[in-house]
Amino acid sequence: MAARGSGASTAARRLMKEYMDLTKNGSPDGMFTAGPISESDFFTWEALICGPKDTPFEGGVFLAKLTFPSDYPLSPFKMKFDPPLFHPNVYPDGTVCISILHTPGDDPTHYEQASERWSPVQCVEKVILSVVSMLAEPNLESGANIDCCKLYRDNKEEYERIVRAKVREQLEVDLGEDEAQ
């Protein structure tokens, strides 16, 4: 194992360090956990994120898949909620649209400031914390799910109702699966 650690690429070594930090220090308030799915592939992680308090997402637990590029940390990783999340800044396929995960080159919505973009000193922990705060306060200027954006702007109550229903539905599904097992 030691040999693997020393012989690994820069990206893998950095991911190992981040993983060590997360497992040893934990996340702030225990809001999320994250780690590689399998020992053999350090470039695909899974994160479990708790819905932040005082938001319609409260009580939910959301699974996200993190895919790291081989030149990480020069390029940001990708984050995708699975199952997709109903949120103004999450594409219908579950991919998270957040400025901290965009390089200066790509600006899909043209509303982002360079200061909020990815930089190699960002890390999984910071990004997930940003995503958690994004769950609480959607950024309507750079919407990914336009229907959801509209709903949030015009009828926030209905939006919150749908989110709550989805969270409950998802939890029930999980329960059902557990019972089946």
Partner 1 sequence: MIMANVHDAEGVPDPTDFPKSIKGLRALDESLRCSICLEIFDAPMSLPCGHSFCSLCIRENILTRKECARCRKQADDFHLTKNAQLEEAALNWKIARPAVLDLITQLENAKAEAERYRARLEKGKGKASPTSDAEERDSSSRPAKRRRTSADSGDDVQSTSTAHLVAEEEEDEEEDDPHADYIPSSDVEEQSIQEDGVVVCPINNKHKTHISHINAHIDSACTAHIYRPGHRPTKHAPASTAKMKPSAKSAWNSVFQSNSRTSSRDSSSKGKSSRSPSTTSTNERLPKVSYSVQKDKKIRDLLQEHGLSLNGTREQQIARHQHYVTLYNANLDRPPAQCKSTDELRRELRKWEDSLSVKKVEITDPKAYLRKNNDHFKAQVNALNERRRLEKKAANEGNKVVHIEASEMDESPHAKDNGTEQDDIVSDSEGEREIC
Which of 52, 151 has the CB closer to partner 1? 151
Residue 16 contacts partner 1 per CB under 8 A: yes
Q: Which of 97, 123, 148, 149 is catalytic?
A: 97
Residue 100 contacts partner 1 per CB under 8 A: no
Residue 61 contacts partner 1 per CB under 8 A: no
Which of 39, 154 has the CB closer to partner 1? 39
Torsion of CA 85, 69, 139, 156, to 10 degrees: 0
Q: Which of the stretches 53-61, 102-110, 158-166, 172-180 binds partner 1 when contact is defined by CB under 8 A?
A: 102-110
Site for partner 1 in 110-169 (CB under 8 A): 114-115, 119-121
3-state secondary structure of 137: coil
135-139 CB contacts, 8 Å cutoff, 24+ apart: 135/49, 135/51, 135/52, 135/55, 135/57, 135/85, 135/87, 136/52, 136/54, 136/55, 136/57, 138/87, 138/88, 138/89, 139/88, 139/89, 139/98
Query: Catalytic positions, please?
Result: 97
Kindly list the residues in this chain that would bind partner 1 in the complex (CB under 8 A).
1-6, 8-14, 16-18, 20-21, 24-25, 43, 70-71, 73-74, 91-93, 103-105, 114-115, 119-121
